[in-house]
């Protein structure tokens, strides 16, 4: 009997842990093609005029060094423009579909998974080195934002 109770507790704990760590998406969007896509940077922009951000990935920032939400070093900005160019070309004249929507982030952008010609855009960008994993649970990041400057061997002095 003791073994059954221990197993039941372990199963319940596993279910609870899974529920906590899995991100529950909003109902899948209709997989209708996106007719107009604009990229602000490598991982966000507008889909048919509505702001969006790709789920669970990060690309280098293209904003000014030191600006709020901008790059942490000039080199990050440079590779950010490379990432944006890659994504713009990849999605130009492609069949782009919203594979899954997770709802809005704190900035009001729809957080989505996109497919390009039937393949995961996040996976393509990760494989090409333009994205890094940045898992989230709803609006809560489960890991630190990737440090693009540090991975380039560039030290950035923290403000303060």
> pLDDT digits over 14-28, tens only?
433 333 233 344 444
User: How do the domains of the chain map onto residue ranges?
Assistant: 33-144
Contacts 24+ apart (CB under 8 A), 64-70: 66/159
| Distance between CA atoms of residues 105 and 39, nearest Å | 17
| Distance between CA atoms of residues 160 and 158, nearest Å | 6
> What percent of the chain stands above pLDDT 90?
64
Interval 29-88: pLDDT, tens:
446 578 899 999 999 999 999 999 999 999 999 999 989 889 999 999 999 999 999 999
Print burial letters for 20-31: b (CB count within 10 Å at least 16), e (below 16): eeeeebeeebee
The pLDDT value recorded for residue 15 is: 38
Contact call for residues 99 and 120 (beta carbons, < 8 A) = yes
The pLDDT value recorded for residue 152 is: 65
Interval 90-126: pLDDT, tens:
999 999 999 999 999 989 999 999 999 999 999 999 9
Domain 33-144 has CATH 3.10.20.30: no
The pLDDT value recorded for residue 93 is: 93
- Which residue, among 160, 159, 138, 156, has the nearest Cα to 147 in the 3D structure? 156
Span 140-149, mean pLDDT? 92
pTM above 0.85, yes or no: no
């Amino acid at each position: 009997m003791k073994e059954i109770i221990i197993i039941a507790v372990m199963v319940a704990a596993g279910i609870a842990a899974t529920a906590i760590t899995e991100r529950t998406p909003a109902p899948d969007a209709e997989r209708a093609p996106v007719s107009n896509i604009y990229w602000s940077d490598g991982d966000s922009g507008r889909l048919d005029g509505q702001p969006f951000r790709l789920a669970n990935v990060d690309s280098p920032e293209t904003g000014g060094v030191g600006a709020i939400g901008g790059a942490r070093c000039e080199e990050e900005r440079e590779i950010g423009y490379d990432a944006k160019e890659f994504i713009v070309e990849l999605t130009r004249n492609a069949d782009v579909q919203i594979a899954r929507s997770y709802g809005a982030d704190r900035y009001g952008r729809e957080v989505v998974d996109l497919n390009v010609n039937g393949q995961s855009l996040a996976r393509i960008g990760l494989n090409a080195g333009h994205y890094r994993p940045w898992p989230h649970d709803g609006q809560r990041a489960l890991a630190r934002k990737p440090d693009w400057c540090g991975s380039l061997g560039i030290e950035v002095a923290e403000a303060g």
